[in-house]
Amino acid sequence: MSAPAPGLRRVEASRDGVRINAFVGGEGPPVLLLHGYPQTSTMWHRVAPELVAAGHTVVLADLRGYGDSDKPGDTAGHEPYGKRVMAADQVSLMESLGFARFAVVGHDRGARVAHRMALDAPERVLSVAVLDVVPTLHMFENVDRTMASDYFHWFFLSLPSDLPERLILADPLTWLRSRFAGRHAGGSAIDAAAMAEYERCFDAGTVRASCADYRAAAGIDLVHDRLDREQGRRVEVPLLALWGARSYVGRNFDVARVWRTYARQVDAVSVHADHYLAEEAPDAVAHALTSFWQHIRTPEPGESR
């Protein structure tokens, strides 16, 4: 495997026997970047250099089940791919790198991991940015015909049998490429080197693990989310909701309003992009992130704002 961007070094950490692959570079306040489906840490290849140039240490990690991280077997309750477990992997990774507190940025599946991390480990998370999602619980409680059509993969991948795995593995590259073409973000948005990396990593292990990820989202994750709601738990750290104006999420939800029911302090920014905004509009994404961090940063004693 090669680093997603120049100047990054490969690292790895293990928790409960599951190895997490990551890349690290830069100097300054640490930022953990988490990818979505069906991607890997490579998806940040256009954003990471801008964050490094802005004075940050970046950590680009592969979620368990994806990229070059381990892909443990699933269980009947799908706990190994619950967002609570996936978030704990990443907290452990950051701790192994010496980062007790950090900002986290997640896109798609990574945003759902970041959301859970902000709830479960607020003492570790300085801020959270969620790219092109609304919370999982809100999605499942607001299913309509448009979602069933545009987001059919949520329901397909979470089927309780092994049917999704069997069908995808019959022609995995066609399925993989459809995830980009179907969002109108293929071609120029995903460059050839990045697509080659996604194709390399989309093996049988990833297919099975990613189905487990979606099954967990439709099961154990909802259990945790409903319990949070019953107990009145919300994200306490500053949260940036960032989405593509042309994406399904941007066209069908009041993203800012939804997140303000799940988090106490929400900044909201829309960029001119579809779903894969970190690759479609990297400059806008990097600008939104650095502006958010500057806005929430606590000045040092005697420092003017």
Give the residue numbers annotated as catalytic, written as ranges. 108, 275
- Spatial strand order of the sheet with 239-244 comes to 9-15, 18-25, 57-61, 30-34, 102-107, 125-131, 239-244, 266-271
Burial of 138 (0-12, 13-18, 19+ CB in 10 A): middle
CA distance 85 to 135: 17
